[in-house]
Amino acid sequence: MESLDFFWEWLREHPTAETLLKYLAWLVVVVVLIVYLRRLIRRKVTDSDTRYKSQKAVEVFGYLLLLLITVSYFTGNIKDIALAVGLFTAGITITLQELILSIAGSVYIFLVKVYKPGDRIEINKIKGDVIDIDSMYTTMMEIGEWVSSDNYSGRIVKLSNAFVFRGPVYNYSRDFPFIWDEFDLPIRYGSDVDLAKKIVTGVASTELSAFVRESHEQWKSVVGRYYTEDAVVEPSLAITLTDNWIRFNLRYIVDYKRRRLTKDLLSQRILQEVEKTGGKVQLASATVEIVRIPVLEMDGKNGTDTRGQEGNEQKKQPGPT
């Protein structure tokens, strides 16, 4: 008890230390409250989108409360918050400019809705699905690199939010969650071209009808919101003659998350229909055609070309006298 009385007496004699301890105590209370609320939301809220937004709201509110407590304790007057924040910002702008840009970037991302968790984006030459956005970093599940098509590489990338100010942000899913894709189909010369066209367009129309129907409605909202022309979302086929084959180029619209699966499905269905034609339509491949091979008559004894020798002997024979 004597030691405790001595401690309280020492605090009364040192008001600065007392203020500091009270400030630290408030910090601990606020941090514990934030952690508790986040865990409570994680257990009670089942919807992932609501749970994520609620946790972020608690986090932002906690930061603001900590800032308010800090300013009130060290300025002595809450009315001086604007002045204190201004002086603080001016003092650390140069040394912490990356931090400031990251925080400003997070505010910009949320206010302007550049992207949100669940969107597929490409920023700073990194492509992936956004899985988290905090006050400093955007966390992405990477796509591509050594993996072909739009498959996950398995790497989780943390990218500073400051990059939203340093270059373009490509969003695959905002406003219009569809993309145009295409692939080439080589058809051999001599095939029934009309039948081949019927096969490709028929398979595309059947397999892509759901995407076409949904994208029609989505594109109307895009045209109403932005200055852009109406687009053709139905599958289209273009034919080009090349040195080796007839190139069928199929262009179609697809959900941005089902690009690889759709291309695989179209390829299999077209191949099945081509095989049913009994050779009327044939797929081409890179081949080399030899037009003519020169015939050489070789002398079995010395391996020389006898045609040349006979020609020379004929030239040496004297003509009629």
Pairing state between β 137-143 and 152-160:
antiparallel
Please name the residues in contact with 233: beta carbons below 8 A apart, sequence gap of 6 or more: 178, 211, 212, 215, 216, 219, 253
**Which residue in 142, 133, 143 sits closest to 164, CA to CA?**
133
| Cα angle 101, 107, 110; round to 5 | 135
Q: State which amino acid sits at residue 43.
A: R
Q: Quick one: pLDDT band at residue 176, thresholds 50, 70, 90? A: confident
- Residue 240 in 3-state DSSP? strand
Rounded Cα gap, residues 271 and 288, in angstroms: 24
Residues of each domain in the chain carrying CATH 2.30.30.60: 109-171
139 bridge partner residues = 132, 158
Residue range 293-310: average pLDDT?
Answer: 58
Order across the sheet with 126-133: list the strands: 152-160, 137-143, 126-133, 120-123, 169-171
Residues of each domain in the chain carrying CATH 3.30.70.100: 178-275
For the domain with range 109-171, which CATH number is right: 2.60.40.10, 2.60.40.420, 2.30.30.60, 3.40.47.10?
A: 2.30.30.60
State residue 318's pLDDT score. Answer: 47
Q: Quick one: pLDDT band at residue 33, thresholds 50, 70, 90? A: confident
Please name the residues in contact with 241: beta carbons below 8 A apart, sequence gap of 6 or more: 247
- Residue 285 in 3-state DSSP? coil
Q: What is the pTM of this model?
A: 0.58
Helix ranges (H only) for 193-305 are: 193-207, 209-225, 259-275
Q: Quick one: pLDDT band at residue 16, thresholds 50, 70, 90? A: low
Residue range 65-76: average pLDDT?
Answer: 69
- Residue 181 in 3-state DSSP? strand
Distances (CA, A) of 117 to 23, 44, 102, 316: 35, 20, 17, 93
Residue range 135-150: average pLDDT?
Answer: 84
Rounded Cα gap, residues 299 and 18, in angstroms: 115
**Which residue in 166, 104, 177, 175 sits closest to 135, CA to CA?**
104
Question: Each residue of 200-228: pLDDT tens digit?
Answer: 999 999 999 899 988 888 888 888 778 77
Which CATH code fits 178-275?
Answer: 3.30.70.100
**Which residue in 131, 202, 134, 122 sits closest to 169, CA to CA?**
122
CB 84 within 8 A of CB 92: no
Average pLDDT over the chain reads 78
DSSP secondary structure of 56-89:
HHHHHHHHHHHHHHHHHHHHS-GGGHHHHHHHHH
State residue 240's pLDDT score. Answer: 93
Residue whose pair of structure tokens reads 């229909």 in the numeric block? 273
Residues in the chain: 321
183 bridge partner residues = 250
